[in-house]
Structure 1
Amino acid sequence: MTEEKFLADRFEANRAHLRAVAYRMLGSQNEADDAVQEAWLRLTRSDAGAVENLGGWLTTVVARICLDMLRSRKSRREEPLEVDGSAPIAIPDTSADLEREAIMADSIGIALLVVLQTLAPAERVAFVLHDMFDLPFDEIAPIVGRTPEASRQLASRARRRVQGADAKAETDRSRQREIVDAFLAASRSGDFQALLTMLAPDVVFRADPTAARMGSQAEIRGAQAVAATFNGRAQGAQTALVDGGVGVQVVVGGQLRVALRLTIADGRITAIDAIADPDHLARLGVTSLD
């Protein structure tokens, strides 16, 4: 057996664990896979023979990669809408097998996944590594750049936020999902009146430049106009967790193409943001709920 094959086999033995660590930190299967792949590249560039505990070494590397990715998310800003269009957004009539994503989300719990997304990057890393994977604070400290005691405080603060928000988030997301499921059902069946009842009178639909180039108007205002846009559509749309809230995803050929971020208040949809820019979609961490 060659040295490269031996190293690859050892890495594959740790892949499932590394993916689980990365997914809990990032909330996105695609980003988790990217983090794991980056860990493999770093392993191939390192002196692997000098690593006594490969599993621990790889966990540390993946955690640092995830921390950098989380911090990078915080520093980016959304681009302003600049493209006009005239046709309503075309939601393709297609679906994809996202079983792995759903299994990963279910293994954590949607409410917990949502709450994790609200934590500061260092809090999230400390909490995930300690509370979910039993990593001692002496090992977490150098990853987050804090002392062991400060790392303990990060995890403790995150734990309090998770415990306090978990029940409320579960209730809120369940209600949001009911509204989104009903909205998609009305859209698919062409029930215009049902759509109107779920939209606030002053609802606003906005599309990013990529979505506009796909055939969407950059902005549509008012319940009548927005309902007309979605009436009879959404055949291939799926309920999903989008940017911490319940929204909609459209998958074509196994690839996420459009995400609809919905703002819901008082039981009605007040805003719909169509996001199709690939970089922006990756940062959202869209997770199927179907």
Structure 2
Amino acid sequence: MTVTENALHAALAPPASRIRLVVSDMDGTLLTPEKQVTHRTLAAVQALKEAGIPLCLVSSRPPGGIEMYFDVLGLHTPYGALNGGTILNADRTVRSQLALDPGAVQDTLDMLKVHDLDAWLFRGHEWLVDNATGAYVEPERKTVRIEPQIVSSFAGSLSGIGKITGSSADYDAVARQEAEIGMLLEGRASVARSSQWFLDITPLDANKGNAVRELAAFYGIDPSEVACIGDMDNDVPMFKVAGLSIAMGQASDRVASQAHFTTAANTDEGWAKAIESLVLPRAVSLNDQPTSPSAVAPGTPGGA
């Protein structure tokens, strides 16, 4: 780590000693590079359930790309899609959603076009694409099992957009646009990479930190009682909110410096190891605390 990164890590508040909720990223975190869930991860999910600790997923994925894992994980909890811009109940109904200002959408599209990044628009369950042959369209379609809606132009589709993704195999270009578009949209949107090849632009309050606050409120607890696990820049906002933050082993030094702990990589059971060694020893069953009114809203939570 650099001097600055060491300073960031040193400035963190002490990690929480009591955890009642886990909020996890998916790609690069809960999932292997092949987008699979390991047997050890399933055992860790079951251990959380037995400890009375709900598990909620928050991802840059659209809702369907998250829901596709619910059966294998046995989840019946609320979750955050589009980097937390859309919060859904356990029954998959929308709890809250945010949208980008149309002007910010157009400014972003202009920047992505100038710098040769493919643009995708997400609105509710829609995935709008204007370049069907883009390098990452087919891999993404297979990953999230959603068919893109191919459009000749994004004109007329600027309202109600929950997320824009810019994609390119030029990782340096994606990193540069994170900075440039971030400056362009400062005060209007959240801009962060969700992978080396994806840049996500979401409404200003649509970040994973906001999702953690909403999910904690849903369960009637303080964010200081939440443990978060992630690996990319878009996970840092939830690290800043949570009482316990854990970076995956393959995370960059910049991301890892803003987490309390770093676990193994997602190629080496990092998620399960984090649950086993860092979360479960701090677990306090949600059932040991009186339920607040906010926890009985539509989409009543089940166990993890």
Query: Which TM-score band (shorter chain)?
Result: under 0.3
Larger helix share, 1 or 2: 1
Kindly name which structure, 1 or 2, has the bigger radius of gyration based on alpha carbons. 1
User: Which structure carries more relative contact order (alpha carbon 8 Å, separation 6+)?
Assistant: 2
Per the normalisation by structure 2, the TM-score is 0.26
